Amino acid sequence: MAAGDGGHPSDETTVRGAGPRQTWAALPWLIRSAVVWSACLVVIAAGLYLLAQITLLVTPLAIAVAATLFLAALLDPVRLALRRLRLPGALAALLTVLLLLGILGGVGILVWSLTADQFSELGDELGQGLERTRDFVISTLPVTEEQLDGLLAQLRQTVSQQEVDPIASARTVIEVAGSALLALVLLFFLLKDGREMWHWTLRRAAGRNREIAAEAGRVGWRTLGSYSRGTMLIAAIDAIGIGLALVLLRVPLAFPLALITFIGGFVPIVGATVAGAVAVLVALAANGPTTALLTLAAVIAVQQMEGNLLEPLVMKRQVRLHPAVILIAVTAGTLVAGIAGAFVAVPITAVAWRVIDSVQRQRQAAAATGDSA
């Protein structure tokens, strides 16, 4: 470009450099938003996939750590009560762990003595209930007996083809036992030195980040404690309510079914649904369709009372999650770590959500304070 043209030599370079920005700005806002969100989703999906792969490699360790945190949050009030009695930290932690072992051992012995002979009957009752359900399906739906039997035979063949590997089974037993032992040892140290560990971690942060991390940690720990204690209380109330209904309806195996309901209460929505279905099938096999319908009504009534009355009272509002989020979390946990993953998925999701929300609120508060200053 000549000097007499009144331009500058850098104008053409500037225009060329601004070309991509102008092209991006010329795109419709919907396309720009779709590109940005798609890129974010790809990054998040890649991160979650990598995290899932790492978790699969160390599944026993991950389950042990999750169980340790759950039990520590559940038993922390016991340890604090023992500390108020001026017991040393190590002794208070040891007594808390021994109390847990005593309760688990006592409940296990009681359950075994009361239900050891009944669990074999439970399988027979479930088989009879499924048989009656088969007859009901054939009589009410446009499905022939041959079609349904063929489908069931194919399902049985698929299940029977899954050969049991004794080496893999022994390895699984060893991993479960090792994870349980590791969880107990970690539980002792976490109850004994957990706060010192957390303070040491906070000292690694500096300035405003330390305050954000401290508050996020407090919120996450309170959420986990509230969730663990609330879940156990709600599961116990569900088991008692459904167990009493089964006794009043003279359904056999009421105690084993109540125990299944209690265990299922630790897997929100899915666990309660499965436990209720088992109770209805047993009632159908033992006493017929009328008792089965009454059992179904009792199960629905107890679960509605739990969801609309007990859960809002027992669980704090910040612990509650939307049912869709719970279903996604339980499904993801089951796919990653099986039954154990289903148990720990919801508390991990609740804590993660509360920690992220706490960090976001603190950053917004800090930004608002800076703008006002």
The predicted structure's pLDDT at residue 189: 93
For 308, which DSSP code? I
Q: Which amino acid is at 34?
A: A
Residue 128 belongs to domain spanning:
55-143+167-197+207-372
Asked if residue 5 belongs to a domain, the reply is no
**In tens digits, what is the pLDDT along the chain, a chain of 373 residues?**
444 444 444 444 444 555 677 777 777 888 888 888 999 999 988 988 888 788 777 877 888 888 899 899 889 999 999 999 989 989 999 999 999 999 888 877 877 776 666 666 666 666 666 677 767 667 776 666 666 666 666 655 554 454 555 676 677 778 778 888 999 999 999 999 988 998 888 888 777 788 888 888 898 898 888 888 888 888 888 889 999 998 998 888 788 888 888 888 887 777 888 888 888 888 887 777 888 889 999 999 988 887 777 777 776 665 667 778 888 888 887 877 777 777 888 888 888 888 888 888 888 887 777 655 5
How many structural domains compose the chain?
A: 1
Q: Has this prediction a pTM greater than 0.85?
A: no
Helix, strand, coil fractions of the chain, as percent rounded to 5: 90, 0, 10
The residue ranges of DSSP E strands in 155-239, in sequence order, are: none
Dig out the tokens for 176 from the structure: 């479960």
Nearest CA to 134 among 287, 291, 284? 284
How many other β-carbons are positioned within 10 Å of the β-carbon of residue 103? 10
Asked if residue 61 belongs to a domain, the reply is yes
Reported residue count of the chain is 373
Query: Please, where are the H alpha helices in 249-322?
Result: 254-264, 270-287, 289-305, 311-314
Residue whose structure tokens are 């407090």: 218
Asked if residue 29 belongs to a domain, the reply is no
The predicted structure's pLDDT at residue 159: 44
**141 φ, ψ (degrees, to nearest 5):** -110, 155
The Cα 315–Cα 307 span in angstroms is 10
Asked if residue 16 belongs to a domain, the reply is no
The predicted structure's pLDDT at residue 155: 57
The predicted structure's pLDDT at residue 3: 46
Residue whose structure tokens are 């006794």: 247
For 98, which DSSP code? H
Asked if residue 23 belongs to a domain, the reply is no
How much is the CA Rg of the chain, to the nearest whole Å?
28
Asked if residue 89 belongs to a domain, the reply is yes
Q: Give residue-wise pLDDT tens across range 259-273.
A: 888 888 887 777 888
Asked if residue 354 belongs to a domain, the reply is yes
Residue whose structure tokens are 């847990």: 100
Helix (H) or strand (E) holding 68: helix 59-84
Say if CB 104 and CB 184 are below 8 A apart: no
Nearest CA to 235 among 272, 270, 268, 262? 262
Asked if residue 350 belongs to a domain, the reply is yes
Dig out the tokens for 67 from the structure: 């169980």
Dig out the tokens for 148 from the structure: 């349904």
The Cα 305–Cα 273 span in angstroms is 15
Nearest CA to 217 among 192, 199, 231? 199
Say if CB 194 and CB 72 are below 8 A apart: yes
The predicted structure's pLDDT at residue 322: 76
Largest CA distance in the chain: 105
Nearest CA to 307 among 273, 256, 349, 354? 273
Give the dihedral of Cα atoms 74, 75, 76, 78; nearest 10 deg.
140
How far is residue 367 from each of residues 46, 208, 230, 239, 373, measured CA to CA in Å?
A: 31, 12, 35, 48, 10
The Cα 95–Cα 79 span in angstroms is 8
